[in-house]
Amino acid sequence: MFPRPALVCIALVLGLFILTTVQASVTARACEASGYCSLGHTRTHTGDVRTGAGLRALAEAVSFKKELVFTSYLSGDGVFLDMVSSLHIPSQSNGTMPKTLCCMSEGLAILERVQVQEFSPDLSCVWDSVPVRPNSMGDPPLIWHMRWRMTGRLARLGYNIGSVDADMMLLSDPYVHLRSPPLSNMTVLCQEEAGMPYCNGGFVYVQNAAPDGPATWAFRFIAEITTRMMDDVPFMISLGKMKRETEHLCHTFDQ
């Protein structure tokens, strides 16, 4: 006698459930190989990182074993929100740490926090209220200035930092590679751009940087350059080195 269809369906459902559970138990802790399973061991944080106290409060809340990852967020539209979700959610499935967003302003940080609360309640949002002279190029150079400045300041505090673009996805635990030679012997890692020595700011990782060393000095210098270049873009273009503002942006902030 053949089994009843209802029993077959129940058996198939139970089989799929068991397989899914077993698979999840195998893959949910991909971070165990590196020992950086930070999910559940950090706290969320929302606030201004302009002062040293504000930055330390962020780092103490979101870091795990002196490691933290952050990205930048330009606007409150759905496009950027989708990218941030694509970066944040796969990392959760790997068991690695939640991400921090560096936003343009307090208002945008609070707006973004409300938007992602439903599906990413452990995502932190911060802003930097340090006064910067209004520039003629809009928001991108300002957010890059904040990003370089925040990287250098965190490095000087003794943290290892991953500064990544919102359109990136970390499909596996990056610390498996970052904690193994030859990468573990390097202080600054970046994404190659059109051949060395050009570096794309879309992925930058800083580890074991001395507070007064060349790596931390480089980020302080880059943040200073972005501020100086924003002062008078038309004058910079008049020097004849650049024909368009987009060239100025590309070669100063992102690459």
Same domain? For 9 and 119 the reply is no
What is the domain-level CATH number for residue 193? 3.90.550
Residue 161: closest CA among 123, 197, 205: 205
One domain for residues 39 and 83: yes
pLDDT value for 25: 45
Are 14 and 89 contained in the same domain? no
Within this chain, do residues 99 and 12 fall inside the same structural domain, yes or no? no
Looking at the fold, whether 105 and 127 belong to one and the same domain comes out as yes
Mapped onto helix, strand or coil, the DSSP state of residue 137 is: coil
- Domain extent for 56: 34-254
Could you tell me if 124 and 136 lie in one domain? Answer: yes
User: In this predicted structure, what is the pLDDT of residue 53?
Assistant: 97
SS (HEC) of 88-100:
HHHHHHHCCCCCE
Claim to verify: residue 79 and residue 189 sit in the same structural domain: yes
pLDDT at position 9 over 90: no
Task: Report how many domains make up the chain.
Answer: 2
> 60 and 24, same structural domain?
no
CA dihedral 18, 20, 25, 27 (to 10 degrees): 160
Kindly state the percentage of the chain with pLDDT values over 90.
Answer: 23
Per-residue pLDDT tens for 209-224? 999 999 999 998 888 8
Residue 135 has pLDDT above 60, yes or no: no
